[in-house]
């Protein structure tokens, strides 16, 4: 068993069933692995007196976060590549913030959504990650790369709601107070707009967990061309689903909009986007398109991004003016999956 796929209550249950031990030992192991990154438990006080039990544990419990096989850094951003047990590789990005770092995490190897602006979409779908392969990225960032990670965004490779159960299990593990201890309000799940996934999330009691939606156009036809998921899960349906989503007071959705020069960056696009957003509570993240092979569009200029943002701001939309980082290491939005 890979311990990285267990919540504390599940591990306690396993200890009771397999070893006749309880919360005391399960809690100690959980603390050592998830809080301290220490797999060497022989010297830990709760286990010192029971070397026989330690041996049994070592035989039945593995710690397999995947091996970091490469990493690239620029402007403080670090992209690292993890090789999984079957040779597949996934990418994660550490984004430095003022007081704490954000880890952009992958939920699948590849992706079946096929968004045209996205390098991962070009790879196609290889397989889902297990919960342990998702939490393993956090383990590696914290304990192997020694980064102080306090925020998680599911904006790496894959569509999180296409791997719903594993993603939710991973979030619950990351949220475990006696372990990684990342508050739900510091975790953002970003979707291309899978209606069923949004509805399933709404039915769970995960207050505070943030929901981001990749919008990129407020015109049905344009969005269907750019993001094929829109053909069956239209903007209209998406808005209806979001209106029914049980947000807490003062909570907002995060909308992501990749601005592509002469494609979706006109003033008319901005007006239409503001109309689509109204009356949803939204913070809008504008991201400059990162040019990639096979999609012949360009990044907009800073001036046109400000002009676009101004139209939205005047219409009462809260716009985050933080343009994309990490272009040269292919760590910007929609660029994971591209080898440097
Ligand atoms: S943008 Fe997201 S959903 Fe779309 S293809 Fe890329 S990884 Fe998949």
Going from the Cα of 19 to the center of ligand 1, the distance in angstroms, rounded, reads 43
Confidence label for 206 from pLDDT (cuts 50, 70 and 90): very high
Span 67-96, pLDDT tens digits: 999 999 987 899 999 999 999 999 999 999
In whole angstroms, give the CA distance from residue 244 to residue 188.
19
For 313-337, what is the mean pLDDT?
A: 68
Å from CA of 184 to ligand 1 middle:
23
pLDDT band at 244 (very low <50, low <70, confident <90, very high): very high
Axis crossing angle, helix 302-314 with helix 267-277, rounded to the nearest 10: 40
Q: What is the CA radius of gyration of the chain?
A: 21
Kindly give the distance from the C-alpha atom of residue 150 to the centroid of ligand 1, in angstroms, as a whole number: 24
What atom in ligand 1 is closest to the CA of residue 121? 5
Neighbours of 316 (CB within 10 A): 10
| Pick from 84, 156, 164: nearest CA to 120 | 156
DSSP string, 241-279: HHHTS-PPTT--EEEEEEE-TTTS-SHHHHHHHHHHHTT
Burial 176-199 (b: 16+ CB within 10 A, else e): beebbebebebbbbbbbbbbebbe
Q: Return the pLDDT at 335.
A: 54
Q: Would you call the peptide bond into 279 cis, given omega within 30 degrees of 0 as the criterion?
A: yes
Q: What confidence tier does 340 reach under pLDDT thresholds 50, 70, 90?
A: very low
User: Is 326 a residue whose pLDDT tops 60?
Assistant: no
pLDDT of residue 329 exceeding 60? no
Per-residue pLDDT at 307 exceeds 70: yes
CB burial readout 221-236, b (16+ within 10 A) else e: ebbbebbbbbeebbbe
Q: Who lines ligand 1 at CB under 6 A?
A: 111, 113-115, 118, 120-121, 157-159, 192, 214, 334
Nearest atom, ligand 1, residue 190 CA: 2
Taking CA atoms only, the protein residue closest to ligand 1 atom 7 is: 158
Work out which ligand 1 atom sits closest to the CA atom of 117.
1
Q: Could you tell me the pLDDT band of residue 178, with boundaries at 50, 70 and 90?
A: very high
Strand partners of residue 99: none
Q: Are 126 and 88 in contact (CB under 8 A)?
A: yes
- In whole numbers, what is the pLDDT of the chain averaged over residues? 92
- The 10 Å CB-count burial string (b at 16+, else e) for 249-261 is eeeebbbbbbbbb
**Mean pLDDT value of segment 284-310:** 91
pLDDT at position 99? 79
Mutate to test the pocket of ligand 1, among 121, 154, 223, 290 (most ligand atoms within 8 A of CB): 121
User: Tokens representing 234?
Assistant: 């239209």
**Ligand 1 centroid to 114 CA: how many Å?**
6
Asked if residue 258 has pLDDT above 70, the reply is yes
pLDDT at 322: 66
CA–CA dist 183, 190 (Å, integer):
17
Q: What tens digit of pLDDT does each residue of 13-71 get?
A: 999 999 888 999 999 999 999 999 998 888 889 888 888 888 888 888 899 999 999 99
Contact 311, 270 (CB under 8 A): yes
- Residues 89 and 82: beta-carbon distance below 8 Å: yes
pLDDT at 174 over 80: yes
Decide: 160 and 190 in contact? Cβ < 8 Å: yes
Q: Read off the tokens for 156.
A: 């790496």
* H or E segment to which residue 32 belongs: none
Rounded to an integer, what distance in angstroms lies between the CA atom of residue 155 and that of residue 153? 5
**Cα–ligand 1 centroid distance for 332 (angstroms):** 13
Mean pLDDT of the region 235-258: 96
pLDDT of residue 338: 45
Catalytic machinery residues = 333
Length of the chain: 340
Pocket probe for ligand 1: among 192, 225, 337, the residue whose CB has the most ligand atoms within 8 Å is: 192
Q: Which of 92, 107, 109, 111 should be mutated for ligand 1, with most atoms under 8 A from CB?
A: 111
Q: Measured between alpha carbons, how far is 169 from 167 in angstroms, rounded to an integer?
A: 5
**Residue 25 C-alpha to ligand 1 middle, in angstroms?**
41
- Among 10-24, 156-170, 261-275, the range scoring the smallest mean pLDDT is 10-24
pLDDT grade for 141, boundaries at 50, 70 and 90: very high
**For the chain, domain boundaries:** 3-60, 67-329
| Strands 282-288 and 253-259, bridge-based pairing | parallel
> 149-154 and 101-104: which strand pairing?
parallel
| CA nearest ligand 1 atom 5, residue | 121
Query: pLDDT grade, residue 168 (50/70/90)?
Result: very high
Instruction: State mean pLDDT over 125-153.
Output: 97
Considering the domain 67-329, what is its CATH architecture?
Alpha-Beta Barrel (3.20)
User: What residue has token string 């929901």?
Assistant: 211
- For the chain, give percent helix, strand, coil, nearest 5: 40, 20, 40
- C-alpha distances (whole Å) from 79 to each of 119, 196, 288, 328 are 15, 31, 19, 11
**331 vs 103: which has the higher pLDDT:** 103
């Amino acid at each position: 068993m890979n311990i990285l796929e267990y919540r504390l209550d599940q591990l306690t249950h396993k200890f009771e069933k397999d070893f006749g031990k309880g919360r005391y030992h399960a809690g100690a192991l959980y603390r050592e692995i998830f809080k301290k990154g220490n797999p060497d438990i022989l010297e830990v006080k709760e286990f010192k007196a029971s070397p026989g039990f330690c041996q049994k544990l070592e035989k039945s419990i593995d710690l397999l976060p995947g091996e970091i096989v490469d990493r690239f850094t620029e402007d403080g951003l670090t992209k690292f590549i993890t090789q999984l047990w079957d040779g597949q590789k996934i990418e994660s990005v550490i984004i430095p913030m003022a007081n704490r770092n954000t880890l952009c995490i992958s939920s699948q190897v590849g992706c079946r959504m096929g968004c045209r602006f996205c390098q991962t979409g070009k790879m196609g779908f290889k397989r889902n990650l297990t919960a342990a392969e998702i939490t393993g990225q956090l383990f590696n960032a914290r304990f192997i790369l020694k980064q102080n990670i306090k925020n998680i965004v599911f904006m790496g490779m894959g569509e999180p709601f296409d791997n719903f159960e594993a993603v939710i299990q991973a979030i619950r593990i990351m949220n475990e107070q006696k372990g990684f201890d990342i508050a739900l309000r510091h975790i953002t799940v970003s979707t291309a707009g899978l209606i069923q996934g949004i509805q399933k999330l709404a039915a769970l009691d995960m207050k505070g967990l943030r929901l981001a939606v990749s919008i990129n156009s407020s015109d049905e036809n344009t969005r269907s061309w750019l993001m094929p998921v829109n053909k069956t899960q239209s903007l209209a349906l998406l808005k209806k689903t979001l209106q029914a989503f049980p947000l807490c007071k003062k909570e907002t959705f995060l909308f992501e909009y990749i601005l592509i020069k002469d494609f979706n960056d006109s003033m008319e696009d901005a007006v239409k986007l503001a109309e689509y957003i109204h009356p949803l509570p939204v913070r809008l993240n504008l991201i400059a398109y990162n040019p990639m092979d096979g999609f012949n569009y360009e990044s907009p200029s800073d001036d046109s991004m400000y002009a676009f943002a101004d139209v939205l701001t005047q219409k009462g939309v809260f716009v985050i003016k933080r343009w994309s980082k990490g272009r040269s290491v292919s760590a910007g939005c929609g660029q994971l999956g591209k080898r440097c």
